[in-house]
Structure 1
Amino acid sequence: MTLPPQPLSPLDGRYRPQVGALGEHLSEAALNRARVHVEVEWLVFCAERGLFGTPAIAAADAASLREWAAGFGQTEIDWLSAKEAVTRHDVKAVEYLVRDRLATQGLEALAEATHIACTSEDVNNLSYALTIRDAVHEVWMPALREVIGRLSGLAVEHRDQPMLAHTHGQPATPTTLGKEIAVFAWRLERIAGQIEDVEVLGKFAGATGTFSAHVVADPDADWPVLAKEFVAGLGLTWNPLTTQIESHDWQAELFQRISHAGRILHNLATDVWTYIMMGYFTQIPVEGATGSSTMPHKINPIRFENAESNLEIASALLESLAATLVTSRLQRDLTDSSTQRNVGVALGHSLLALDNLRKGLGEIAVAPERLAADLDGNWEVLAEAIQTVIRAEVLAGTSSIEDPYAQLKGLTRGHRVGQAELAQFVDGLDISDAAKERLKALTPATYVGLAPELTDLAP
């Protein structure tokens, strides 16, 4: 039995509620809406300045055109679908749609100003710039900010919670849970700033970036100045030197930074997953949820596992986009045309991961007793403190101990020692009484250095 038509991508099926907001910016319909916007703005720009001999446009007519473009909806989507079936060219279909609207408004005299001197890429590069910019800043970035905010809150909450660190998977100098979470918040805040600062570029210089048609048709105009004004008027930064296409370097910069953020988030997901496995975090049961189909006791860390997989897919796509888009054979090829249609897919998987991380971070609780037990079971981590104090005593001339590192290595490497053994060892050292008292007062739970204060550096 044949199924009725179904979404092929899980982003358009199972996960649509979590990522659907991207469709407002990165769907085919959103791209066509942006194209109509650019075409209308160019027509009005020409008419208001008399470029190419274009008749003047009344302010009311310009406002009406812009209102129509902003209201782009199902009627225009259907119109374009039918027209493109004939033209086999998406941008040409948009041009015909604008011409049709001009006729509807009685502005036929302006028809030949539609798309005048433009190559399709003049319209496309600006449209993609607008849609990608808005998708990132209005949908993806707020989701990242929510995760950063949740991390910052957890860091503050657990600022003073001592925790055994694990370097190379082995017990290491203690830290605090808050400080370790703050590390991720700080890393993500830094890369978020870089993403927000990426310059979104646009070109508008004709078939090979030379303004050739512009100059022949209207030789008295200062086309570079006008192009810069037009691009800036759309809220973009003008790229003055291009081939037929805008070189997409800004997109590569953006996608690489988003991929970088994803790698940091992936690191977060694997660390939290590991802390859950170690019992440092417990998972808060969700009413009615099932962890395992056969083991009723389980609460699987599915949020973090889902985030991992989607971040890996997103990173692969984003890195591929960044690598592909910066290359175009000679003055133009169409590899970018197909590639850019997957921007929404890449950001969709990243957004889905952010949603899972945000939810997952709200479904875990700290297990202080488990953290305390691990600290109390690993007194040997104080060996670092003891040998460092001995070195300082030797440097100060209050001790003559040779190779303190070796002495502590002999005591603790491969051996479990407790408070009593370390106290006895310290009492037998040739160091000052003040140093002995300072060392014997230490516990693994208090040997956290400036971790609480460092937590305060988190955003």
Structure 2
Amino acid sequence: MNVFSITAISPIDGRYFEMTSILKKLFSEYGLLKFRIKIEILWLKQLSMHAELKELPSFNQSIIKILTEIEENFNEEDALYIKILEKKNQHDVKSIEYFLKNKIQMQLNCSINLEFIHFSCTSDDINNLAYALILKDTRKNILIPLWDNIIQEIKKMVFKYKNIAILSRTHGQAATPSTMGKEIANFLYRMMRQLKIFKKIDILGKINGTVGNYNAHHVAYPNINWHKFSQEFVTGLGIKWNPFTTQIEPHDYISELLDCIIRFNNILLDFNRDIWSYISINYFNQNVNENEVGSSIMPHKINPIDFENSEGNLGLSNSIMQHMSNKLLISRWQRDLSDSTVLRNLGVAVSYSVIAYKSVLSGISKLQINKKVLFTDLEMHWEILAEPIQTMMRKNNIKNSYEILKKMTRGKKINQKLIRDFINTLNIPDQEKRQLQLLTPHNYLGYASRIVDEII
């Protein structure tokens, strides 16, 4: 941890610096500037390729090479220079235009028409595409790999514990048994669904001028099909073209992405709380690290801190994303600036999720199933067999089956002997009676293991 980290206001850049550093190249001010530079240069190159733009002759390989190097070699010194320009003119995107004019003039000695930099563009033509590329990169290289990692680790748990019986708890009370693998598979299936949805969400972009109508473009070059030109440029970036916008791309796809992340996060939060609860009743033990301290006063403590950390950070991430998802869909008339400051916090929201994901992975790696406690817990609750017994009684048309078992078991301590003795009194076929006598809290599991095999 460096001095900046130790004095940072946000824990993202402080306490959790190492966990979130991967996001700096994307969501920092430097990262945003770098992507904006990329869009500006690619737009300039695209313009030069159109025969109708005689004032901007097609670039030769030497010019293309220099422009590409300006984009690829963009560094912190360049970014700081842009910020100096911005301090003077109070406009971030205009400062990028001035920077590029200066940079290209130095490199090419004005061998191209510099006025075609940012030609017919409104600021959001650049910004929306920069954010689209940032989110495309974030989804592909950060979020999907982390989701995949979580899913794979949970899948290992499902397979490992698919035959290990546990006492279910509905309303916190003893209920029909399941297996630990099946219960964890419930989360696995839900996460896999969200991942599938997440991958399919279109990332949109536009480059169509001040209010989305190519007004300036059309005046300057009326013979160019700017609608088609825009589509080709946007899709060439590997994103989907949005043909209908105001001054801004309306951010619907960002809302869709955020909503999907929120759903995945809430499923993971649900998982965290269940695992935390299983740890609290000793269904799971945690590996002991001799160098760790669980409490500043209680030496015996081994706290489920990873799952707690994950839960807290998921909550922070979701609350920010929820506001973003709601707010970004709304813009007054053709443009207001209220989305700008919100978009700048995308990295904050994603960072809290990344911290949560890494924490839960750490927590999972420390878990060990406690079969002894699971067995003991099941053995103490023979009353759960009231369900299959009264069901078999119903099958054989024994009246008031449910009420008989309710009177016998509800709120009472039931053991194996009481259950077996009651089964012997039933007027049902011997084969079905034997079937009930073979039931125990440990093997009354239905299709639990078979269902797990399907998801694995």
Give the TM bin, normalised by the shorter chain.
Answer: over 0.9
Q: Which moved more, 1:280-289 or 1:335-344?
A: 280-289
Report SS of the residue matched to 1:352: helix
Contact 1:284 1:364 in 2 (8 A): yes
With the length of structure 2 as denominator, give the TM-score of the two structures.
0.97
2-structure distance, mates of 1:132, 1:264: 22
**Structure 1 vs Structure 2: percent identity of aligned residues?**
37
Q: Any idea what the Cα deviations from partners look like across 1:104-130, whole Å, max 9, x if unmatched?
A: 231622301100000000000000111
Aligned to 1:58: 60
Distance in 1 between residues matched to 2:216 and 2:208, nearest whole Å = 9
RMSD: 1.3
Of 383-392 and 351-360, the range deviating more from structure 2:
383-392
Letter in 1 for 2:40: E
Kept in 2, the 8 Å contact 1:19–1:348? The answer is yes
Aligned counterparts of 2:419 and 2:440: Cα–Cα separation in 1: 10
Q: Is the 8 A contact 1:273 1:301 kept in 2?
A: yes
- Name 1:411's counterpart in structure 2: 408
Q: TM-score, normalised by structure 1?
A: 0.96
Partners of 2:20 and 2:228 in 1: CA distance: 40
> Is 2:67 the counterpart of 1:70?
no
- 8 Å contact kept, 1:304–1:356: yes
- Deviation (angstroms), 1:64: 2.7
- Whole-angstrom CA distance in 2 between matches of 1:350 and 1:457: 30
Rounded to whole Å, the distance in 1 between the matches of 2:335 and 2:415 is 71
Please report how far the alpha carbon of residue 6 of structure 1 lies from its aligned counterpart in structure 2 after TM superposition. 2.0
Where does residue 359 of structure 1 map in the other structure?
362
Structure-2 residue corresponding to 1:385? 388
Q: Is the 8 A contact 1:26 1:135 kept in 2?
A: no
Among candidates 151, 169, 178, match of residue 181 of structure 2? 178
Distance in structure 2 (CA, Å) of the matches to 1:151 and 1:323: 31
Mapped to 2, the partners of 1:82 and 1:315 lie a distance apart of: 35
3-state SS in 1 of match to 2:285: strand
Runs (5+) with no aligned partner, structure 2 = none
One-letter code aligned to 2:11:
P
CA distance in 2, matches of 1:113, 1:49: 13
Question: Does the 8 Å CA contact 1:102/1:110 hold for their aligned counterparts?
Answer: no
**Matched residue, 1:335:** 338
Q: In the alignment, which residue of structure 2 is the partner of 1:99?
A: 101
CA positional deviation for 1:50: 3.5
* Structure 1 gap ranges (5+): 395-400
CA contact (8 A) 1:183 1:458 kept: no
Tell me the distance in 1 between the aligned counterparts of 2:178 and 2:338: 50
- What's the CA shift string for 1:291-336, capped at 9, x where partnerless? 0000000011110111111011001000000011000000000011
Which residue identity is paired with 2:412? H
Deviation at 1:141, TM superposition (A): 1.9
Q: Provide the aligned length of Structure 1 versus Structure 2.
A: 451
Q: What is the distance in 1 between the residues matched to 2:186 and 2:145?
A: 20
Q: 1:191-270 counterparts in 2 under 5 A?
A: 191-270=194-273
2:317 equivalent to 1:320:
no
Superposition map of 1:57-136 within 5 A:
57-106=59-108, 108=110, 109-136=112-139
1:133-152 aligned within 5 A: 133-152=136-155
Q: Which residue of 2 aligns with 1:41?
A: 42
Secondary structure of the structure 2 residue equivalent to 1:456: helix
Amino acid at match of 2:215: S
Between the aligned partners of 1:121 and 1:457, the Cα distance in structure 2 is 47
Whether the aligned pair in 1 keeps the contact of 2:320 and 2:349 (CA below 8 Å) is: yes
